Amino acid sequence: MPDTAENCRLQAVTPAQSPTASITPTAPPTPSGGVPIAPRSRRADYLLTAAVGLVLPPMIMAPLGIASHFAAEGRLLLASLFLALALAVCIASQWFFAMRSSLGGLVAGLVALAVHAVVLLAPQGAQSSPMPWARAFIPTGTLLVTAGVLLGGSWGMRHARRSGRADARLAARLALADRARGVTPAAPPSRRRAHVLSFVVTATSVPGALLLLQHGYAELVGPGNGSSSGSSGVLTALAALVLLALGAFFTGRSTLGARATGPLLVLAGLPALLHGVWPAAPGAARLARWLPNDPTGVGLIATGLLLTTVGWGVHLARHQSRVGELVGLRNAETVTPANGIARP
């Protein structure tokens, strides 16, 4: 009889009472009908972000080009308003891509590249555009900058999503080890190396690309499509595109580089922007020597805005994926015992 009572007592122990129940992995929860819940389809996210990506490059380029046109005329207030409009478009699009899918950034970058190819194939290059602001603004290289930053940022956002989910799983394992008796939890891995590497790569590649665009790019997109410079202009543009994409891609490792370099580029472009109303602005003459194809500084400011907003969007995507993965892991910890009553 004592053995029978002891066996009954052992059989009555539920997973909640077992000391190893919290360590062993559990299956995903199922509804009361017993059929597993299928994951939400992301087809709508892909279609919506792709549609936004199709119209994003002109929505960015138009306010920036008009701002450059007004800055050249000394109408600083209107130029500032259109710069603010471009910033709002960049913020809204990156927020949407972070919440939905990074496919939108990839589509936007490819569309910008396609438009750039059309400019190169046009007989008069940028001068074939019917819009006056485009004829003056495309030689600054901002169209190529937009393509490179959006392409690299989309891949960086995709990498950051995966890293966010991996961080969540690691945090769950560390929390589980912390609750186990007799186990000393390990410290989470340091991200200092990723921060330093991101800053070094972004702070060198993006300004380097901007300097490359000052050598032969204006002739490449001008009348004759760079016939005087030959293939060197094309190679220079390709090298600048790779550097821009590389700098934006490293946001997937850490957004420190983009969020530090972007505001610095915006500040660096302010003297040229103020030159129309403040001819003696400090640094304007030196900036004109370094960036002769961007006399108003709007191209430099646009690069900073794009880089900053892409970094913010990638950071948001990483945080969102981490939170979502943690919620899924907490839901997976809910098990259903044999009596059919779910245990929280």
Mean pLDDT by 10 residues, the chain (344 residues): 45 39 44 55 92 97 96 94 97 97 97 95 91 94 97 97 92 80 75 95 96 91 70 90 97 96 96 85 86 92 97 96 90 58 50
Whether 247 and 278 have beta carbons less than 8 Å apart is answered as no
d(CA 160, CA 165): 9
* CA nearest to 309, candidates 243, 237, 261, 241: 261
Q: What is the pLDDT of residue 336?
A: 47
First to last CA, the chain: 35
62 to each of 75, 86, 159, 264, 302, how far by Cα in Å?
Answer: 17, 8, 30, 23, 12
Q: Which two tokens stand for residue 316?
A: 């948001």
- How far is residue 95 from each of residues 89, 98, 101, 172, 308, measured CA to CA in Å? 10, 5, 10, 27, 12
Residue pair 245/156 in contact (Cβ under 8 Å)? The answer is no
pLDDT at 146: 97
> Computed from CA positions of residues 133, 52, 241, 145, in that sequence, does the dihedral angle turn out positive or negative?
positive
Query: Is-contact 284 266, C-beta < 8 A?
Result: no
Binning the chain into helix, strand and coil, the percentages to the nearest 5 are 70, 0, 30
State both tokens at 302: 């646009």
Class of residue 116 by CB neighbours under 10 A (exposed 0-12, middle 13-18, buried 19+) = buried
Token look-up 């994951």 returns 39
- Which spans in 180-255 are helix H? 192-212, 217-220, 231-249
- What three-state secondary structure class fits 276? coil
Give the angle subtended at the CA of 210 by the CAs of 192 and 229, to the nearest 5°: 140
CA distances from 323 to 21, 182, 191, 214, 330 (A): 24, 29, 19, 43, 11
Tokens read off for 131: 């819009």
Distances (CA, A) of 166 to 45, 99, 115, 290: 22, 18, 37, 43
